[in-house]
Amino acid sequence: MKSWLLAAGAALGAACPGGSAAAPAGEPRPLVVGILVEDGVCAAEVSMPFDLLRAAARHARPGMQVLLVAAGTAPVTSDAGLRFLPDETCSSAPEIDALLVPGVRQEAESAGGAAITAFLRERAPRARFLVGLGRGAFALARAGLLDGRACVTAPEAAPELRRRCAGARVLDGVSLALDGPLITCAGGARSHEAALYLIERCFGELPAIAVGSEFGLDWCLERVRCYDAAARAGRGYEAGERIDPEVTVEDEQGARVRLLDLASARDRVIVLFLFGGGEHEAKLRRGGLWCDDSMNEMPLLRHAQARFAAEPVAFLPVACPPLFDEEKCGFPKGAFRPDSPQLAEARQQFVASTEAAVASGVIPFPRVYYDPTFKLARDVGESPPPDEEPWVGRFRARGEYQEYGLPALWLLSRDGTVLVPPLRGNAYEKNAVLHYGDRELDEAIRTALELTAK
């Protein structure tokens, strides 16, 4: 059953997968969530995700359609005596984007359980996400969906799951585990973590925060005891590694230049600042930049330049294009793809708008360089695309799951050694999600100077 991960992983790239749920002509349909229920199901692991995921429609469009799916049409009685009326059966359910599997308090072999196991085996390869809540991990194990994966279950049930599913890596000490399309959580009251993470993964952090706030939950993924397999297996450079010496960016004229050649002989530290550059036609009205967070990062970089003006530190800003949101920013769709026939014109417009932001003082650097096809931080999985340089995607930090991962700061030595972990993840419109500021950047640069002083 490991093949389900390959199929589901391919589906992750779709902005909105196809299916049978109704939607107005020309509009994407809601994402369809199926919550599997059977007698003895944990009531909190059904009702809590149901309420949170239904609320996503109030904060994101087109939101989510949430269905209760059971083996048959009869009402299902939970462990607490709460009765659920299924919306669909395993045989009638439409295509489902996210399958949620709550736990069952007293597991027993039953016709309903066998039907759900068969349903999971059939539908998992077609789902974008598979979510195990608490003891729901046991149903996933019976269907052969945990082999070779990291997961969590209800804490008291972890030893039993290890005995039953030797192929799974059952984790202790975390309440949420992310392993590709597989999401598992400790369940119970912590079921909200899996639901809010799913909303964030599908629609972004702001809708997840808004949904959490509606229910009195202060959502921030960074505060969750979370294991992310992607953070431990990816292409992104880590502290202590040396970057490929042939990494290149472009100047404003389109000439390719080696990144490590851009620092002067006196500089010991390179602060590589990757940010969202200019937009065309100023459709988003963000001071000329398409990325809000990059716009808000500029004062931080302005202050850092002033503090380290007398130090051997080179600030290297590299503007990145809106690879996925071209039309929102006034560019033709797909214009920044490497093989696009519109790339040359789009690049010229992108550079012109970014240079205008330099001239106006919005960008606090005298000169900016460019990554017009988003090579440095592109999400390419474990290997670069064919016919691309081997360093493509290596400046996408490990564990990054957002489309862009901008803004991001990398501190390098003159020989290309990554001196400290990258500073990333600042989201200025979400006040609770600021991972670094003046002090943290100051400390990182001073640490880099100390490391290169030997």
pLDDT at 6: 47
Helix axes 44-55, 191-203, angle to 10 degrees: 30
∠ at Cα 276 (199, 226), nearest 5°? 35
Are the CB atoms for 84 and 68 separated by under 8 Å? yes
CA distance 393 to 279: 23
Tens digits of per-residue pLDDT, 242-254? Answer: 999 999 999 999 9
pTM comes to 0.58
Mean pLDDT of 113-124: 91
Continuous segment of H or E residues that includes residue 354: helix 343-360
Query: Encoding tokens for residue 309?
Result: 């003006």
For residue 164, which amino acid is it? Answer: R
CATH of 3-232, one of 3.90.180.10, 3.30.300.30, 3.40.50.880, 3.40.50.970: 3.40.50.880
Mean pLDDT of 29-58: 95
CA distance 118 to 115: 5
CB atoms within 10 A of CB 164: 15
The CATH code of the domain at 248-451 is 3.40.30.10
Tens digits of per-residue pLDDT, 349-398? Answer: 999 999 999 999 999 999 999 999 999 999 886 778 888 999 999 999 87
Q: In Å, how far are 99, 128, 306, 363, 445 from 440, measured between CA atoms? A: 40, 37, 16, 21, 9
| pLDDT exceeds cutoff 80 at 403 | no
| pLDDT exceeds cutoff 60 at 429 | yes
pLDDT at 33: 97
Q: Which residue has the higher pLDDT, 401 or 346?
A: 346
Q: What are phi and psi of 188, to 5 degrees?
A: 60, -135
Are the CB atoms for 236 and 395 separated by under 8 Å? yes
CA distance 309 to 303: 10
CA distance 208 to 60: 9
Residues in the chain: 454
Domain ranges for the chain, please list them.
3-232, 248-451
Are the CB atoms for 128 and 12 separated by under 8 Å? yes
Query: Encoding tokens for residue 190?
Result: 């912590």
Q: What does pLDDT average to over the chain?
A: 88
